Structure 1
Amino acid sequence: MNAKVNITNRAGASFPVRRMNFDFDAVPEYWMKGDAGLTHFMTALSALFPAGEKFFIDSVRAVRKHPAIANDEALQKEISAFIGQEAMHTQEHVGFNASAQKYGHDVDTLDCYTDKVIQGTRKFMAILGKPVGITQEMVDLTATTALEHFTATIASQLLTNTHIQELMTDETMKNMWMWHAIEENEHKAVAYDVFEGVFGKGLKSYALRTSSLVIAMVTLLIVQSYFLARLLKQDNQLNLDSLKSIYTYAYSPSKGVITGMGKEMLMYFKPGFHPNDLDTNSLLEKWKAKLGL
């Protein structure tokens, strides 16, 4: 799979930490079937990950010693494995982003923008929530929980949508995204379990997590769309052909990766929802076998 894999069992967690080392040197500029629009769509998504994954790690780490969960040995093992996987995702997306930068696509600036958006939004939401007892830790963790639902859902689409898979014609990039998708589903419940363990399952928690999903999705859509438009414009690819291929890939009713997420995303609003309600075990076993994981 064009990567050296070293698997670490995080002291009995239900999923391992796989230490990857993908070689992006031979990845072509337009690795999505030679299509600039599709490649830039995925690059704009990848530009969100280094700062985003660090935010996820920091959010969970900030509350892992909370008295409500500090003595839960099983959950603590899951948290350690979650942090390990997210750290590897950061490393590999930094590597891919550097390969895009090599072709003159300014992903470094987008990465800086992502961090500024995250920090500005989290601080603003904490100010808004302070009068009703919402702390910075609550804002950060509930945003992480919402975004983890998004990443697990889009990951499921990558693993099930054959149209998307056929467009990933570069083996290194396809394997990197599928590995990432597997791990997003392996640890999809960790941040959620931490959130419920610390803040409970009451009406306030429900209102906080569902409103956070709405805010997070609107912010993410705006930022990723801006990144995509910026990459296309800088590459002189902001044209109807690129926009048409992006629409078919992301937003068309029958094939779109984003539209295909609708049903699973809406399940988050169900009272009593838990990420493990969405059973992806057989899907993950199939793909782990395909990738030799």
Structure 2
Amino acid sequence: MKFGRKTPPPRWWHSGDPGRTAFFNALSSTFPVGEKFFMTSVRHFRDGTPEPLRSQIDDFLYQESMHSREHVVFNRQAEDAGYDIAPLEERARRTIAWVKRRSPIQQLAATCALEHFTATLAHDALADPAHLDGATGEAKRLWQWHAIEEVEHKAVAFDTYLHAARDMTRLRRWLKRSTVMFVTTVRFHYVIFRNTADLLRQDGCNNFATWRRLLGYLYGRPGPLRLLLKGVFVYMRPGFHPWELDDRPLLAKSLALLEQPRSRAA
């Protein structure tokens, strides 16, 4: 699928609100470099994996490459709307470069953590329309499509990690993924909030009133980051697996809505 080629989103495409728009643009600015990192870290262990996991990895790589393509376009549209995205992308590159100095298994564990973030945000966006209510038609469809595919492949990196770390004790596997999740959570919030602040500053809206409304959205209702932090504690539980939450019915419902003609979905 391709989005927004004919009708690029307006500057404040989410609800006409600079804060919500800045938050999602801040997320999008990290996706191309982040998804390339996910692909590299999972591909590193592909050849040693059994079927059906190997085929799932191939599908994961294809989906992530398509996400990167669409968010490159989305980010360029944000630039066309007047935003300077380059500092945000550079901040994401520096963070990924820092992670790449770690061992391959630690990089894979970081991918598992970030994939859990995207799957959690994706599930909540699909389950509660309030997350994207007010977004313009094509931008909304882009984020819904991305959410569907993130849920579809939410266990691929995690299953690859379980296979790659199969010779570790259960305690060591759990400690490694939990420690990496804690560090990733801190870094993620730092990057996203710095990126959001940069965009709000460009709008002349980096002030208390804007942040009060945005934090109410992020941690109140619908609360994407509140739910994300809840998901972090779920992830750190021994014995966790992404598919213990079976959201296939939600995927089927969301995909049916996405496949409606654009004139009806707008």
Whether the aligned pair in 2 keeps the contact of 1:38 and 1:242 (CA below 8 Å) is no
Structure-2 residue corresponding to 1:148: 115
1:195 paired with 2:166, answer: no
- TM-score in terms of structure 1 length: 0.84
1:167 paired with 2:167, answer: no
CA separation in 1, counterparts of 2:249 and 2:108? 29
Identity %: 36
Structure 2: tracts of 5 or more residues without a match: 261-266
Whether the aligned pair in 1 keeps the contact of 2:7 and 2:138 (CA below 8 Å) is no
- Residue 239 of structure 1: which of 207, 213, 216 is its match? 207
Whether the aligned pair in 2 keeps the contact of 1:146 and 1:213 (CA below 8 Å) is yes
Deviation string, structure 1 residues 56-112 (Cα, Å, up to 9, x no partner)? 00001111123xx2xx12111100000000001101111100000112211123112
Moved more, 38-47 or 200-209: 200-209
Structure-2 residue corresponding to 1:102: 80
- Residue 118 of structure 1: which of 91, 96, 121 is its match? 96
Structure with greater helix percent: 2
Structure-2 residue corresponding to 1:12: none
Whether the aligned pair in 2 keeps the contact of 1:153 and 1:265 (CA below 8 Å) is no
Structure-2 residue corresponding to 1:215: 183
1:42 paired with 2:24, answer: yes
- TM-score in terms of structure 2 length: 0.92
Deviation string, structure 1 residues 175-206 (Cα, Å, up to 9, x no partner)? 00010000000000000111101112621111
CA separation in 2, counterparts of 1:205 and 1:30? 43
- How big is the shift at 1:120? 1.7
1:291 paired with 2:258, answer: yes
CA separation in 2, counterparts of 1:214 and 1:262? 11
CA separation in 2, counterparts of 1:78 and 1:32? 33
Q: Which has the higher contact order (CA 8 A, sep 6+)?
A: 2
Count of paired positions = 258
Structure-1 residue corresponding to 2:264: none
1:255 paired with 2:222, answer: yes
CA separation in 1, counterparts of 2:157 and 2:6? 30
- How big is the shift at 1:24? 6.2
